[in-house]
Structure 1
């Protein structure tokens, strides 16, 4: 019989090099990454992040510079846009009554223009009188604050004596304020051109605003983008319009209350200062402080005693405290409320870029930024930071 071949010997078990008594863990496959590649990847990521931050900063600085040098173009455009947003609900309500938008816009613009012309015609005479009487009024105001200035000068001389410095006396004469009719004639064309530009822009925004929205929706690439665009624009239209109308109503009411208070106290030209309070109150915090200061000066010029002189300013401060802490938060609710820190920083930024128009338009622009960032993915944090 043929003998079967010997079977192949079984492979020997692998020899373990682990010392006895030490637990053997599962052996992982050796990494093919080159030594130091992790550190180089992190270094590249840091460099890319630094480049991205630097480019973002340069873009922001470029935008700020562009906005600053385009002030004469952008200020009327932004102002007209906000006025159009505020008046759009009136035109839209007229459209629901089968009234054409252009006819409703013409009627609204005529009523608004008539109100402005009436206000300017009523307040121009007392305003010019105050401008002409400002030098003599300042000279009459100087003796009333002379005791206070004498105390300040005495303290200054004592401080300079202590530090061993010589007392320097100011011998310069104060500059007198000159305001002539030629100044009005020289600045009138610019003012008229600006007013006409804003009026035309407001009219076209009211008439063609919905068509602009439809064109913006048509160029969106997908249905999701179209719906998102409509949501953002509609929220801006509704919330910013309600905010502007409510703020305007509150400020006009504040101006009327201020004018009535000044009339009861016997302060001259109460309508002028009531109008000043209305316009200034569009600038949060700064407007109330400015109006209080102006009323303190007006009271000091009109009254001889200190108590009656400070009474109009003190009363106005109480009125604005009630308005800012009770009435406005109750009417506006929490949706449109902004952080006071964000408002102050925004006021400083736009006041520095555009001056007084920027300070007036700052809060409406911040409200729009809040509404837009609240609906943009990845920017919700900014809307949360600037909210109150």
Structure 2
């Protein structure tokens, strides 16, 4: 790198790598700082991508954009209410019986391995000593009350973000293709107009196809897991189907979390210690079948991504936006990959994001704009 000159003690230019580093740092800081504002916006746009084909189908059948948006919102709210109702009873029961479940897990682990017994006896002795001290009991109660208050304080924020997401989604669906019209109106040349419309349409098409297909696949996986848990005699098999459906939106980590939950419930529900392994193996087999055969076949090779990049992307967005970040990580990666297929300078990025031996399709653009 050639040194840059200074005049009056100030550099005349900033090195390119330094400018890029500062931009990336400020971008990450801004994304983290504006999380409460950006999360519902990103979720609303992703949901609008999912329901855009449905909206267009209803519009072609004679319904107005607004009425189609209202019908979609009603169906979405009914679905969310159904999922929440189905999960409310078993989850509340698990939370209420958390102490009993913990003791059962300790007992079963004592049966599996003797060395754990000393640890659990020491833990029980420490708890009994804590219970004998009134001041310590008061301290524990105060901490529990503080934790309860902190959790309760998050409820208004969660409800506000959900309402913001749903209202914005309604506006996005009711507006139809207004954004395409705005893009055509703002850009100066016909070539730029065509290119921008082509890029936005391709990104929307790929995101919509990906999210809508993944939703259907996850619904099928949830049904298969629920039926399998019912055949195995697991309690609340419907809950495990819903958990599989929701958790599978997070690649890799969602399946592992579902397997862990099913294993713990099987551990405290059955007497034979082999049942947790059978339940975990069944769950793992179904998720592996979905991830290695069904999803690649229906999603298509054009959206296949580098698995290492996917894992790192999920980890980054999980660190930045927690659970919501894990959900939006892959759709955002799909959008970046689709964008790279239209811009020559981003073509190396598209090759890097694609899986091995996958050639990203090229969308040749006529330089004349015709």
Q: TM-score, normalised by structure 1?
A: 0.80
CA distance in 2, matches of 1:48, 1:317: 59
Q: Indicate the residue corresponding to 1:18 in structure 2.
A: none
CA distance in 2, matches of 1:261, 1:182: 39
CA distance in 2, matches of 1:52, 1:317: 47
Q: Per-residue displacement from partner, 1:200-250 (whole Å, max 9, x unpaired)?
A: 111111111411221122111211111110011100111110110000001
Q: Which moved more, 1:226-235 or 1:188-197?
A: 188-197
CA distance in 2, matches of 1:45, 1:319: 60
Q: Indicate the residue corresponding to 2:106 in structure 1.
A: 142
Could you tell me whether the CA contact under 8 Å between 1:302 and 1:309 is conserved in 2? no
Out of 112, 124, 149, the residue aligned to residue 88 of structure 2 is 124
Q: 1:342 to 1:209 in 2, by over 3 A?
A: farther
Is 1:270 the counterpart of 2:234? The answer is: no
From the CA coordinates, give the structure whose radius of gyration is larger: 1
Q: Indicate the residue corresponding to 1:300 in structure 2.
A: 267
Q: Indicate the residue corresponding to 1:283 in structure 2.
A: 250
CA distance in 2, matches of 1:234, 1:325: 29
Q: 1:248 to 1:358 in 2, by over 3 A?
A: same
Deviation of residue 340 (structure 1)?
Answer: 0.2
Q: Per-residue displacement from partner, 1:268-322 (whole Å, max 9, x unpaired)?
A: 1111121111111111111111111111111101011111222111101011111
Is 1:100 the counterpart of 2:64? The answer is: yes
Q: Per-residue displacement from partner, 1:109-135 (whole Å, max 9, x unpaired)?
A: 111111211221232121111111111
Q: 1:75 to 1:107 in 2, by over 3 A?
A: same
Q: Indicate the residue corresponding to 1:78 in structure 2.
A: 42
Q: Which has the higher helix share?
A: 2
Correspondences of 1:306-385 after superposition (within 5 Å): 306-385=273-352
Segments of 5+ residues of structure 2 without an aligned counterpart are 6-10, 131-139, 356-370
Could you tell me whether the CA contact under 8 Å between 2:110 and 2:117 is conserved in 1? no
Is 1:67 the counterpart of 2:34? The answer is: no
CA distance in 1, matches of 2:30, 2:85: 37
Out of 43, 53, 57, the residue aligned to residue 2 of structure 2 is 43
- The RMSD of aligned alpha carbons is 2.8
CA distance in 2, matches of 1:89, 1:265: 38
Is 1:133 the counterpart of 2:119? The answer is: no
Deviation of residue 150 (structure 1)?
Answer: 4.0
Segments of 5+ residues of structure 1 without an aligned counterpart are 1-41, 157-168
Deviation of residue 146 (structure 1)?
Answer: 2.1
Q: Indicate the residue corresponding to 2:366 in structure 1.
A: none
Larger RCO: Structure 1 or Structure 2 (Cα < 8 Å, ≥ 6 residues apart)? 2
